[in-house]
Structure formats: structure tokens, C-alpha cells
Chain A
Amino acid sequence: EAQVTQNPRYLITVTGKKLTVTCSQNMNHEYMSWYRQDPGLGLRQIYYSMNVEVTDKGDVPEGYKVSRKEKRNFPLILESPSPNQTSLYFCASSGPRAGRGDTQYFGPGTRLTVL
């Protein structure tokens, strides 16, 4: 089954404790992206990747890191989480024409709480 998986689905942590949210897709997609969703603000793009070793900042990259060492994986790293990073996070993937017709497929989301 074609899918985007994220782990963990739920995480409660404390300020400053480094964490990684994994994202994996089995559709051989070139494009992958991370979003956060907050009430009243909609989804905001954090980082995206056009292919292996090619990443770029979205609108809200501060406090996050990403890497794309393999095509299927695109982990999101919070080196020192803070309470304002409490949010619902979605990973998405698509073919190379993400904004030109290829559908973005989203993972099930990771609900992160930083205390």
C-alpha cells in the first residue's frame, strides 16, 4: 500500500530535550516536505526537499533541522524543543512536480507537546 508513515504519532517531551520525528514514504517520491498545523493558522511549511541531499527552508524553519540522506526518509529534528513548538506535524511527499500537478500525500501526523 502506498503510504507516508510518521513516528512517533504522539510525543510529550520537555524543553531542551532533543528529538527526531521520522518520516518515510514508499512511493519513490522525489519531493518531501514538513508542515506544522496550529489552530487558526493552518498548515505552515517548515522545510522541503526536492531530492536526496537537496533541502530548503519553508516559511517557519527556525528551531528545526532536516536531512535527506535517502530518498524514502526525511526526518525532522528539534535540537532544543521549546513550548512554542507544541503542534501537530505532518510530513508529505509527491512526485517531482509538486506544485505543477503531482499530488502531495500526507502522513497521519505527529502530535507533539513540549512542556
Chain B
Amino acid sequence: RKEVEQDPGPFNVPEGATVAFNCTYSNSASQSFFWYRQDCRKEPKLLMSVYSSGNEDGRFTAQLNRASQYISLLIRDSKLSDSATYLCVVNPLYNFNKFYFGSGTKLNVKP
């Protein structure tokens, strides 16, 4: 079973739409959670960390549900520039030097 699972998409949404992605993780002892963004054939870049209480950064909101073992990313007022693949990343409690990446969810924002 994969450590981290994501719906690959693609999610095709119009500009201005609100879109949400979920990511599930298998290890209940996972400690830290992140969302990265990856543009086509480019390197991943940190979008935001995910805190237990949930956190917001502008149009982006991340939530963690430990009971159901998933994290979510909500994007409001989608822009064309939000088109990318969003990677969910999990870091286990037993080794904070290891990282497990999901295979990514592709978002296409259309005019």
C-alpha cells in the first residue's frame, strides 16, 4: 500500500472557481505534512506546510484530519497561473529526515 495517495486528476476548472484536493496517508504516526507545487517538468516548490489547526495563505487553505488520515488543499478564486501539479508530502514521526510524496493531482485552470 502506498504511503500517500492522491487523485491524479486532472481537475479542469474555470478561472475564479474554488477547487479542493484531498490526499490520504497510510501511517497514522505521520508527523508533518506539506503541499508542494510542481510545474510541468520543473522542480517541486513548497506551497505550504499543513498544521494541525489548519492554515491559510491567501487563496490557499490547508486542513489536516488525523482521525481520517487525510489532508486537503482548497484553492479559492483560481487563476490561470494556478495550473500545475500539486504534491502531497508526508513526514513520519519515527524519522523526520524521510519524506513520502504522493504522485500528484493535476489542476488545469481554463479561461
- A-to-B contact residues, CB < 8 Å: 31, 33, 35, 40-45, 48, 50, 56, 58-59, 88, 90, 97-101, 103-104, 106-109
Contact = CB atoms under 8 A, between A and B. Distances in A.
Given A44-B101, A99-B96, A109 B49 contact: no
B49 A106 contact: no
Interface of B: 4, 8, 31-32, 41-46, 49, 87, 91, 95-104
Contacts of A50: 97
A48 B104 contact: no
Given A42-B103, A44-B101, A100-B96, 15 more contacts: A33-B99, A41-B103, A42-B87, A43-B87, A45-B100, A50-B97, A58-B98, A90-B43, A99-B96, A99-B98, A106-B43, A106-B45, A107-B43, A108-B42, A109-B43
Contacts of A40: 8, 103
Chain B contact residues: helix, strand, loop or mixed = loop
B27 to A, nearest CB: 13
A98 B96 contact: yes
Given A108-B42, A108-B43, A42 B101 contact: yes
Nearest to A103: B46
A48 B44 contact: no
B71 to A, nearest CB: 15
